Amino acid sequence: MQLSGTWSILNGLIATLCLSGLTLAIELDINDKESIKDAASTSTYSMMGWYAGNETGQIPGSFPTKWWEGSALFLALLQYQQFTGDDQYNDALSQGLQWQSGDDGNYMPTNYSSYLGNDDQMFWGLAAMMAAEMKFPDVKGGFSWLSLAQGVFNTQTARWDTTKCGGGLRWQLFPYQNGYAMKNSISNGGLFQLAARLARYTDDEKYTKWAEKIWDWSTSSVLVNNKTWNVADSTNMDNNCADAGNYQWSYNYGTYLMGCAYMYNYTNGDEKWKTPVDGLLKKTFSTFFPHGNILEDITCEPRKMCNFNEILFKGLVSSWLAFTSMLVPDTADQIRPKLQASAQAAAKGCTGNNNQTCGIKWYTSEWDGTTGMEQEISVTNVFLANLVQFGGIDGPVTANTGGDSKSDPNAGSEGGDSDKNKQKPITNGDKAGAGILTTIFVLGWAGSMAWLLTGA
């Protein structure tokens, strides 16, 4: 009788849990390498559930209304295959990175180039750079990963603008785009990071000089304060960049930090780069970890106003912090507790939709009711970032330490290698509608900022 009653209680409890839709969180033992790999496998599977580019009739690497996010997906996949050894997504990864490279191998594909920003193109360049650094095999008959990164670098440095503000990259590429008259941190910081990584990989002084040039301009502008280490979001050319939009976004700090870490490592510990590494790291910790050791994008998360771009920021920063800990070893003890706590909190929040869907807010340690590819990418990044602590990761390599991706210093134009299988446009160019998507994004961004200011 007693046993029968116990089983009745257990059966009732199980039924209640099933009906309530309760899902167990992703299991994560932060001190167990295999547990972290398993967690990353779960979130990567969810992440790839949003990707259709490898299906029949679909366009590889394509996200029509948010093209740059393909690079964020592939950045996560590059680390996943390298850190875990799981190569099941490698074919889709190679295909997507190649397909979106454009006719000239500079990530200016016909279907999207008429409305891209410098930051959009830059992120694809960083993905190609990581492929070279992770020794991801070049595609036979295609553009090499290194040449694609060089192609982005060459086209962006050609846009360096000295008409106002003494230099810098504009946010957008064309006068008909909203944001063309702005210079922003992620575009300039991203190009700085790319130049630093190319300098370290190739040991070519051209890239070193550009990294120094971009850094010196950034710190002489209102974007990067090398006394307080505040990084502003953007500045307007209409008043010669005298004022800055000071919204705080984690990826603006992270991209400059990553570039400085690469330059520090490349120069064998030059103090010029250690000082900003320490300064930016300290400021990043004090600004974006308001809940102890858990990462948060403070401008949008408290008000539940993060758009799909902004959800990705702290995932990128998680990766960049992990790489910083490898490149500047004496930062590891500071960075590791932040990555560990953030991953543990993120895992606890992956209980949504009865399938371990992850949310935006990690610090709540519970699902926040949101669903999306961006959430899964960011959580995957923070899981993978914690595998660095175990060592044994082959990368980031250089041309002198095992990297074998083919260099093309003239990449990105018709002067580069031309005997490649180049992307064929899926549809006709869409310049007529180019301004529409940019306007939608910029107006949406401006509206969000106004809402944040008013606290509505």
Which residues, at least 6 apart from 369, have a Cβ–Cβ distance to it below 8 Å? 352, 359
Q: What is the pLDDT of residues 415-431, one digit of tens each?
A: 444 344 333 333 333 33
Q: Which of 273-287, 320-334, 374-388, 408-422 has the lowest mean pLDDT?
A: 408-422
Judge contact between 190 and 255, C-beta under 8 A.
yes
Q: What is the pLDDT of residue 22?
A: 65
pLDDT band at 14 (very low <50, low <70, confident <90, very high): very low
pLDDT, average across residues 45-54: 97
pLDDT band at 268 (very low <50, low <70, confident <90, very high): very high
Write down the mean pLDDT value for the chain: 89
pLDDT at 12 over 70: no
Q: What is the pLDDT of residue 85?
A: 96
pLDDT band at 65 (very low <50, low <70, confident <90, very high): confident
pLDDT, average across residues 62-77: 94
Q: What is the pLDDT of residue 115?
A: 87
pLDDT at 240 over 90: yes
pLDDT band at 13 (very low <50, low <70, confident <90, very high): very low
pLDDT at 442 over 90: no
Tokens of 424: 């064929």
CA atoms within 13 A on the CB side of 58: 15
Report the alpha-carbon distance of residue 57 to residue 52 in Å, rounded: 9
Q: What is the 3-state secondary structure (H, E, C) of 208-257?
A: HHHHHHHHHHHHHCCCECCCCCCECCEEEHHHCCCCEECCCCHHHHHHHH
Helix/strand/coil percent split, the chain, to 5: 55, 5, 45
Q: What is the pLDDT of residues 116-129, one digit of tens each?
A: 999 999 999 999 99
Query: Is the four-CA dihedral 109, 315, 34, 28 of positive or negative sign?
Result: negative
One-letter amino acid at 217 equals W
% the chain with pLDDT above 70: 86
CA atoms within 13 A on the CB side of 330: 7
Report the alpha-carbon distance of residue 309 to residue 300 in Å, rounded: 11
pLDDT at 448 over 60: no
Report the alpha-carbon distance of residue 241 to residue 25 in Å, rounded: 47
Q: What is the pLDDT of residues 373-415, one digit of tens each?
A: 999 999 999 999 999 999 988 879 999 999 999 999 999 975 4
Q: Which of 157-166, 231-240, 437-446 has the lowest mean pLDDT?
A: 437-446
pLDDT at 51 over 70: yes
Ordered by start, the domain boundaries in the chain are 22-49+289-393
Q: Which of 4-18, 144-158, 265-279 has the lowest mean pLDDT?
A: 4-18
Q: What is the pLDDT of residue 393?
A: 87
pLDDT at 286 over 90: yes
pLDDT band at 111 (very low <50, low <70, confident <90, very high): confident
pLDDT, average across residues 443-450: 45
pLDDT at 456 over 90: no
pLDDT at 161 over 80: yes
